[in-house]
Structure 1
């Protein structure tokens, strides 16, 4: 391998020299596609080709390129659009996995949580207290108290400064003080413990940009439609540019599949679809305005089928989740009326306030890629461990499956290690010491915020929002505002976001379509009524200015997003997965009943 000829010292010198954040533009995508086409012809084959641009694939690309390997990353749609954007928004150790005695998994996740909080992404990952209500004074307090004590011990056994406080016990009065709207009589007290929250799609896009900054070629909307094979060895992939329809070949010494719920499909390209079996489990979440539920901490409860989280964000609560098998199109999971009613029913069973469909500002549905046990028939997905597995079904191909968002870095490291084989020791992973873009200098930027609030008339909520999304990259937004002062204004129909955030997404964050802005560069798809449709004209106008769309392109982008919204709304009125998918497809295809 060309990259393996570099020494560890030269790799680290390259890393230090690559600290200046790079924008991710359409031109960069074009250059990445050119690199892929020319690999193995006018250029040497790539060292690593990563297929799948979710959190694990983005992490694998960062891992490989910071080892000094010639690396490319491709994703069939937008970054993080498959599974990663639909999570519960938590970076956590997996408290409920202690019940399954998955001590290794919990320790691993707590290690990664600490790294993210302390050094890798302190701007994106934020501490959050959670309450576990107790209904029985003696045995439950002992049971959950022992669990969170072990949780804390596993976390605090890690080297370095403690990332989060240790757990506390609260009586009935203390519980009411932190969560006044928990129904009286539901609990005699609580155990309070700490985990962390994250904007999942933002984590993915930041990982992609960080990998790009360190030299990886990255191309979204580039689908792997086949694997290139010479004898029994995989030597690359056949790719399709989803924007133009062009199909071409890319050569690589190693292909790393991070396909999530599509893992079996990638395995099928080898002729051995059974290399890893992955269960797709659907989970849905509701978004409710913050003022509808009084509480300052999150809430963690268990239901008969899953867990129920109440997660406070700046302006709203995220409530979920469900855990049901999904056997339909894995590219388009949908939330049904049954799903929404299930979460509302369980939420209302513990709240003094009564939530209705009218309180639900938004919702989303996603799939978890759970490794299947080696048995036939139905499996209760709530009992499947989230531990990941990495295999090499053929020389030149590495497949990673399972896992969860919190442990993306470990999954990525394991995948690249396996792809390199014995030579991995020559270039060990260093991503545990690579801060993501925006992390370095975040504390200094935080101290500048009072002056920026005075200068632009921004609220504290807006500056907190900016820091949580960009960290020290806020400096780049300020540069755009100097160029166009109108960008400092909030969006008229989505005032939690500034106009500059849309412009920055267009020119620095790899946006190709309006959907990318609405669903992943912002959270307007599920945090504004009607999925942010009222804000679309202004956002499209900004995109026209910074992406150079003509009138026809603008109209097409707006129509496509409006149809997506109508399709998801139609699905949410149906009671079964099958009926919801059919309703969604009818709207997307313009078919009337």
Structure 2
């Protein structure tokens, strides 16, 4: 196996995904042959693009909407082994995931992935403490974990000191353990930018609308620029379908018979202010169906999740009043001061792509992944979990080898830091110096370092005195972050910035509506929008938020979906379903 990380061969050093790079990418898609074309800009697709590019292959990645616009921006935002999978005796999956967690914390993405503690409240005397301790001992030792502390046992008094928000009768003691967390959308986008840095052509708002064939083999895809309606054909030795819950749809469009089916399981989370739950640690709670997390998230808590079948609009899964009531009921069963609907700042719903057929209950479906060569020139991958994306990507590229000319080099992504990782720790030590240089408070610089790592210099190079000011209605973020999202991170719409490049849409009770105009005006300066376009972007975003709010008071999935699906799509030339 190669021992060094490769140098960039990209015409976009630093993995910049800006307007000029977008135009150049379209020309390259039309003109160049590729070894691998990846469909889907979620974490698995971006991981496949990075894996293939760092093996020396010619790679293109296309995404119909925005990078991470589906499942990969709507997870629990954890890099974790999955305690409940231990109970299901899936030791291999847990070990693999914990190894990936360690790699992320230490080598691949220390700027983006951070340790996070959880308290497991004990409810039963006698058997529960040793039973849980044994599971956590495995959890602490499997996968070579060394970057987080081991379990710590607490009396009831000790647990209540750690989490004063708990009712005294909700526990008889507790055990604290550690996992890791990341902003999933930012991490996915950074994987995509790293792939671009190593030569991959990465282009969002580029939808696959058909497949090309030579005799019995898939030889490429027809794509549409959903911003302009332009179409072109992209030639490839092999196409890799990484579309998650859209896997079956894409396989039908290719004319190939799938080797597995994917079921969509809806997971809903709510976001509340940090002061609504007084605690120094997150919580993990057993429920009748699965587990519920209370996850620290900056000045907030993320509480979730649900786990129910979803058979409606795959692009816009809708949370219902029933989903939200379920989460509140579960968490309120242990809180001394119950949460109410008025405490909720944000709500988001995502779809897990689970392999169908193993169980009628989505909460019991395996999180293992499957890879298949569904036709000559076409590979599909589905299932799995966010934490193991890198392993999934390597397996998908391995499966593509039969359709690639020449010998395929081994995967080396376990040795390839993401953009922003190199130099991050030194910059953390220099945060005060950086703050003084740019006239910022040190906490602002630390915020930037945990979002951009050593790319912080590229962000701040864009800064004017005006752009170093906070967003008026979302002061956790600076205006320069909005400009950088459009200039370098591939953001094409206000929605992309408010929901994924930042998390304003879930962190503020106004869901981003109150700062949509200011964000649009900053983006206009980068992307050349006129006033009509600014007004279009604002109106579209406001309509989206209104539809989401309305769906969240509906009693069931059908009613919520009908409301959410009524909001206009900002990408005007999308076709659905893929045909």
TM-score normalised by L of structure 2: 0.95
Deviations 1:86-122 (A, max 9, x none): 0000000111100110011001101110100001000
Q: 2:64: which partner in 1?
A: 76
SS in 1 for 2:170: coil
SS in 1 for 2:487: helix
Deviations 1:425-462 (A, max 9, x none): 64111111110011001011112212344455644543
- The answer on whether the counterparts of 1:93 and 1:107 sit within 8 Å (CA) in structure 2 is yes
1:18–1:34 CA distance, 2 compared to 1 (3 A): closer
1:178 is aligned to 2:162 = yes
1:131 to 116, 119, 125: 119
1:465 is aligned to 2:458 = no
Cα distance in 1 for residues equivalent to 2:168 and 2:251? 52
Q: CA deviation at 1:366?
A: 0.5
Q: 2:574: which partner in 1?
A: none
Cα distance in 1 for residues equivalent to 2:103 and 2:148? 12
SS in 1 for 2:490: coil
Q: 1:322: which partner in 2?
A: 306
- The answer on whether the counterparts of 2:9 and 2:199 sit within 8 Å (CA) in structure 1 is no
Equivalent residue pairs, number = 568
Cα distance in 1 for residues equivalent to 2:515 and 2:232? 38
SS in 2 for 1:312: strand
- The answer on whether the counterparts of 1:169 and 1:192 sit within 8 Å (CA) in structure 2 is yes
Deviations 1:6-65 (A, max 9, x none): x969x95545999952321122122112111123xxxxx200100000000001001111
1:56 to 33, 40, 44: 44
Cα distance in 1 for residues equivalent to 2:112 and 2:362? 29
1:241–1:429 CA distance, 2 compared to 1 (3 A): same
Deviations 1:463-501 (A, max 9, x none): 3321211111111122122xx122111111110001110
Tell me which moved more, 245-254 or 266-275.
266-275
SS in 2 for 1:21: helix
Q: 2:396: which partner in 1?
A: 415
Q: 2:429: which partner in 1?
A: 447
SS in 1 for 2:254: coil
- The answer on whether the counterparts of 1:288 and 1:359 sit within 8 Å (CA) in structure 2 is yes
- The answer on whether the counterparts of 2:205 and 2:225 sit within 8 Å (CA) in structure 1 is yes
Gaps of 5+ in 2: 570-579
Q: 2:196: which partner in 1?
A: 212
1:257–1:573 CA distance, 2 compared to 1 (3 A): same
1:30 is aligned to 2:23 = yes
- The answer on whether the counterparts of 2:269 and 2:349 sit within 8 Å (CA) in structure 1 is yes
Q: RMSD across aligned C-alpha pairs, in angstroms? A: 2.0
1:533 to 513, 525, 535: 513
Deviations 1:499-554 (A, max 9, x none): 11011111110111111111100001111112111111211121111221100111
- The answer on whether the counterparts of 2:320 and 2:551 sit within 8 Å (CA) in structure 1 is yes
Q: 1:475: which partner in 2?
A: 457
2:379 to 395, 398, 401: 398
Q: 1:3: which partner in 2?
A: none
- The answer on whether the counterparts of 2:117 and 2:179 sit within 8 Å (CA) in structure 1 is yes
1:327–1:36 CA distance, 2 compared to 1 (3 A): same
Q: CA deviation at 1:584?
A: 2.4
Tell me which moved more, 28-37 or 360-369.
28-37
- The answer on whether the counterparts of 1:84 and 1:204 sit within 8 Å (CA) in structure 2 is yes
1:559–1:19 CA distance, 2 compared to 1 (3 A): closer
Q: 1:381: which partner in 2?
A: 362
Q: CA deviation at 1:566?
A: 0.6
Please give the residue correspondences for 1:251-290 in structure 2 after superposition, counting only pairs within 5 Å: 251-290=235-274
1:331 is aligned to 2:315 = yes
- The answer on whether the counterparts of 1:267 and 1:276 sit within 8 Å (CA) in structure 2 is no
Deviations 1:217-243 (A, max 9, x none): 011011112221222211111111111
Q: CA deviation at 1:166?
A: 1.3
2:82 to 76, 94, 113: 94
Q: CA deviation at 1:79?
A: 0.2
- The answer on whether the counterparts of 1:287 and 1:361 sit within 8 Å (CA) in structure 2 is yes
1:343 is aligned to 2:327 = yes
1:401–1:457 CA distance, 2 compared to 1 (3 A): same
2:184 to 176, 200, 216: 200
1:12–1:581 CA distance, 2 compared to 1 (3 A): closer
Q: 1:239: which partner in 2?
A: 223
SS in 2 for 1:487: coil
